[in-house]
Amino acid sequence: MTYPYVRVSGEPRERGRQYGSAARARIEVSLHGYAAAFGKSAGIDWPDARAMALPYRSLIAELDPSIIEEMEGIAEGAGLDFADILALNCRTEIMAASMVAKDLGPAKTDGCSALAVLPERTADGGVLLAQNWDWLVHSVDSVVVLEVIRDEGPNYVTAVEAGLLAKTGMNSAGLGVCTNFLVAQADGSRTGLPYHVLLRALMDQETLPDAYELLQRHPRAASANFLLAHNDGVAADIESEPGGADRLHLRMPDSGVLVHTNHFCSPIDRPDIALKLVPCSPFRFDRLTALLNARPGGVTVKKLTEMLADHASFPKSICAHADPRVDPLKQETTALGIAMDLRRGEVWLADGNPCVAPWRRLSLSDGFAKPSSVTDPAYSPGYVR
């Protein structure tokens, strides 16, 4: 299995149209998968999900009207209504609010294990960022790799569920983004931007301070974690509760590394609901930290891929597998592994479980390595081709 590679260019609406057309069949998988998931976990039918998503349209337009144009283009290309694409991009807000309101136990959540490694800990002085993305089994049939070439802002590549704007990836300015599901008591009770829209907006940022400022300026509707690194040698982890800047929790690297799974590492006011929904999270966190500390010599992309294939606490391991004891509609698996060498501008992908899927280097277009508008002339690591 190899996930489809979709390369788009042009104006926002045209890029969306190209994406929607190329990924049409996989967008249908996303739509039908979430229609079933919303119904099973929350008793929400698809028309209700569309209605719940509509109030977010004006907030997204205030952030950046071109993102609305992109979603309109995706809908046109896929032969769907705009409300369908909007609901897909608000799926976290719809599901998280239901989890809190209904006090659900272990349930369908994006489990992820992510890490960043800075030059003092890498073998060649590079900057590495990697994660596994664990999600519902149906998502394996919906993933695409999306490369966006454009005139405005950095170019970017993201591994994402078809129909969604962005997930994990990096841009041509050298910023890399990994992310983890979180949930807090306030989920579903705050007005703000949807999680996947913020992931798309992060692809527009050229520096780590730019990314942090974006999250500070714009209230968020759902909890999430953003593990960010830049090819200039810096990284930060930003845990986010619903709300404004006072609900952001900033973590900096410890001895050149950062690790995150699916629970809050920073103190929060109320009990961490994620520990109930994703009880394997602290075990994956501890295991990934131990694997990092046990590696002799510098960390390489190869060593990262080995860590992401780890099966301690199987099947709820770093490399997660469907649990036969669980309802098939609630079964989760590692849908992909991704490793980014930000200094070299390289992305490596495992199409499925990293324990069995071969890792492949993505062939980014020549136009991807677009110069940043804020490159320091005295220090420019650049991209190695």
What is the pLDDT, as a whole number, of residue 186? 87
5-9 and 175-181 as β-strands: parallel, antiparallel, unpaired?
A: unpaired
So what's the pLDDT on residue 297?
Answer: 82
For 237, the token pair is 């982890």
Maximum CA pair distance of the chain?
57
The whole-number pLDDT of residue 28 equals 98
pLDDT for residue 98: 67
Q: What share of the chain is helix, strand, coil (3-state, %, to 5)?
A: 35, 25, 40
Q: Residue length, the chain?
A: 385
Alpha-carbon distance of 365 to 120, in angstroms, equals 30
Q: Which residues of the chain have pLDDT under 70?
A: 97-110, 377-385
What are the tens digits of pLDDT across the range 58-87? 999 999 999 999 999 999 999 999 999 999
Query: What is the pLDDT at residue 262?
Result: 97
pLDDT of residue 103: 55
* Per-residue model confidence as pLDDT tens digits over 9-18: 999 999 999 9
CB distance 103 to 276 below 8 Å: no
Domains with residue ranges and CATH for the chain = 105-368 (3.60.60.10)
Going along 182-331, which residue ranges are E strands?
Answer: 224-230, 234-240, 248-251, 257-260
